[in-house]
């Protein structure tokens, strides 16, 4: 089953993935003057804003290119309301949420709030130029509160942050938690290396970032869920970093991962019954095996939903994020 899924990813991706990756200069934040008036804080983007206008907005400096997938060709005429066209395999993409996220980022940047962080040094990026296309988007919660790292899917071909990590991060920040959405290098191994590096970066800069490094959790959808599960189970040292504490919980959406080691952290999962990529039976079996090992685990299965439903607003899955947060909180030390 997993081999067939991977083949599907590759065949589908051939029609949308641009050969090679553009290596612009590193995404360090350019900040301008503070803008605090009510007018300047109002929404500047709407459904008909061009995606390229967001990417090239001076407020985002050189990291604007990472807001949308760098491995997908984006037509100059594409508008925010049609972002689903550049998010293969995803469903239930909410244009209003896309606009909300873009405006949130714009307003934060306009207030001189740093919303993007490099995880690799200039020297590391010079040695491996593909690391130019990585980093963390920070959705701030309450100072000193706990944090989550969110990993979007995309079949290890691209990073679908606008559907699979940014919305979740924004909602977590509204609850007071600090949330980091990871932009990683496609490829299972490199993605896990980037996630491990992100955990190291946040942990080592916890005081500067004003986050509580204890009881963090890893979140992911589709390929991103595999990343969360692998790093959560095998640890950061398995992917080139020193050993950092394991996450308190792993939150997984729609992925057909079946392997079990017995070392899994507490795990919450959710999936739809009409998912043609990640079988709900496979996910349910994995959760039951984790529970059989004596580890807390839960799954929610939503009738009729397909792959990549994100927050699931207006669907049978609406409210699942609250359940996932409650699961995380119940497993804190």
Rounded average pLDDT over 183-200: 97
State the Cα–Cα distance between residues 277 and 4, nearest whole angstrom. 9
pLDDT level of residue 109 (50, 70, 90 thresholds)? very high
- Is residue 124 a contact partner of residue 49, using CB atoms and an 8 Å limit? no
More confident residue, 18 or 272: 272
Alpha carbon distance, N-terminus to C-terminus of the chain: 37
Residue 5 has pLDDT above 80, yes or no: no
pLDDT level of residue 186 (50, 70, 90 thresholds)? very high
State the Cα–Cα distance between residues 209 and 156, nearest whole angstrom. 28
Helix (H) or strand (E) holding 301: strand 297-302
- Is residue 127 a contact partner of residue 202, using CB atoms and an 8 Å limit? no
Q: SS3 for 172? A: helix
pLDDT level of residue 43 (50, 70, 90 thresholds)? confident
Name the one residue in this structure whose structure tokens are 């599960």. Answer: 229
**Six-digit token string for 223:** 């390929």
pLDDT at 19: 37
pLDDT at 56: 97
pTM equals 0.88
| Residues of the chain above pLDDT 90, percent | 86
pLDDT, the chain, mean: 90
Helix (H) or strand (E) holding 55: helix 51-55
**Six-digit token string for 76:** 């100059």
pLDDT at 41: 55
State the Cα–Cα distance between residues 74 and 52, nearest whole angstrom. 8
Residue 255 has pLDDT above 50, yes or no: yes
The bridge status of strand 178-183 relative to strand 135-139 is: antiparallel
Residue 323 has pLDDT above 60, yes or no: yes
Rounded average pLDDT over 315-332: 97
- Is residue 54 a contact partner of residue 86, using CB atoms and an 8 Å limit? no
| Residues of the chain above pLDDT 70, percent | 87
Closest CA to 311 of 228, 266, 254, 265: 254
pLDDT tens, position by position, 7-40: 444 444 444 443 334 333 333 333 333 333 444 4
Q: Domain ranges in the chain? A: 2-18+113-330
- C-alpha 215: how far from chain center: 19
Name the one residue in this structure whose structure tokens are 């790292």. Answer: 149
pLDDT level of residue 333 (50, 70, 90 thresholds)? confident
pLDDT at 82: 98
- Is residue 142 a contact partner of residue 176, using CB atoms and an 8 Å limit? yes
Residue 42 has pLDDT above 80, yes or no: no
Rounded average pLDDT over 260-272: 97
pLDDT tens, position by position, 218-237: 999 999 999 999 999 999 99
pLDDT tens, position by position, 44-87: 999 999 999 999 999 999 999 999 999 999 999 999 999 999 99
Residue by residue, DSSP assigns 72-124 as B---TT-BGGGGGGGSTT-----HHHHHHHHHHHHHHHHTT---EE-SS-HHH
State the Cα–Cα distance between residues 252 and 151, nearest whole angstrom. 10
Q: SS3 for 325? A: helix
Exposure string for 195-221, b = 16+ CB within 10 A, e = fewer: bbbbbbbbbeebeebebebebbbbbbb
**Six-digit token string for 114:** 């740093």
State the Cα–Cα distance between residues 298 and 281, nearest whole angstrom. 14
pLDDT level of residue 292 (50, 70, 90 thresholds)? very high
More confident residue, 7 or 179: 179
pLDDT tens, position by position, 118-161: 999 999 999 999 999 999 999 999 999 999 999 999 999 999 99
What CATH fold (topology level) applies to the domain 2-18+113-330?
Rossmann fold (3.40.50)
């Amino acid at each position: 089953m997993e081999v067939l899924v991977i083949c599907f990813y590759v065949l589908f991706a051939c029609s949308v993935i641009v050969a090679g990756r553009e290596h612009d200069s590193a995404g360090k934040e350019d900040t301008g003057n503070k803008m605090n008036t009510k007018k300047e804080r109002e929404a500047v983007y709407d459904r008909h804003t061009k995606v390229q206008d967001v990417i090239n907005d001076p407020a985002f400096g050189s990291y604007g290119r990472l807001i949308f997938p760098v491995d997908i060709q984006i037509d100059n005429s594409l508008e925010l309301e049609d972002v689903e066209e550049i998010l293969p395999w995803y469903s239930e993409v909410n244009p209003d949420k896309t606009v909300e996220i873009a405006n949130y980022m714009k307003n934060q940047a306009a207030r001189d709030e740093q919303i993007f962080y490099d995880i690799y040094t200039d020297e590391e990026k010079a040695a491996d130029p593909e690391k130019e296309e990585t980093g963390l988007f920070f959705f701030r919660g309450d100072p000193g509160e706990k944090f989550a790292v969110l990993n979007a899917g995309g079949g290890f071909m691209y990073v679908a942050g606008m559907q699979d990590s940014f919305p979740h991060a924004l909602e977590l920040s509204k609850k007071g938690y600090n949330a980091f959405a990871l932009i990683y290098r496609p490829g299972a191994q490199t993605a896990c290396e980037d996630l491990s590096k992100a955990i190291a970066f946040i942990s080592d800069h916890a005081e500067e970032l004003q986050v509580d490094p204890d009881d963090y959790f890893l979140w992911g959808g589709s390929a991103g869920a595999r990343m969360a599960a692998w790093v959560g189970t095998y640890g950061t040292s398995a992917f080139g970093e020193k050993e950092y504490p394991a996450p308190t919980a792993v939150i997984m959406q729609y992925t057909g991962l079946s392997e079990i080691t017995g070392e899994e952290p507490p795990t919450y999962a959710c999936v739809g019954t009409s998912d043609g990529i990640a079988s709900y039976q496979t996910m349910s079996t994995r959760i039951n095996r984790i529970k059989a090992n004596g580890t807390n685990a839960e799954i929610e299965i939503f009738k009729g939903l397909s792959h990549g439903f994100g927050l699931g607003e207006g669907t049978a899955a609406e409210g699942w994020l609250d359940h996932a947060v409650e699961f995380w909180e119940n497993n804190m030390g």
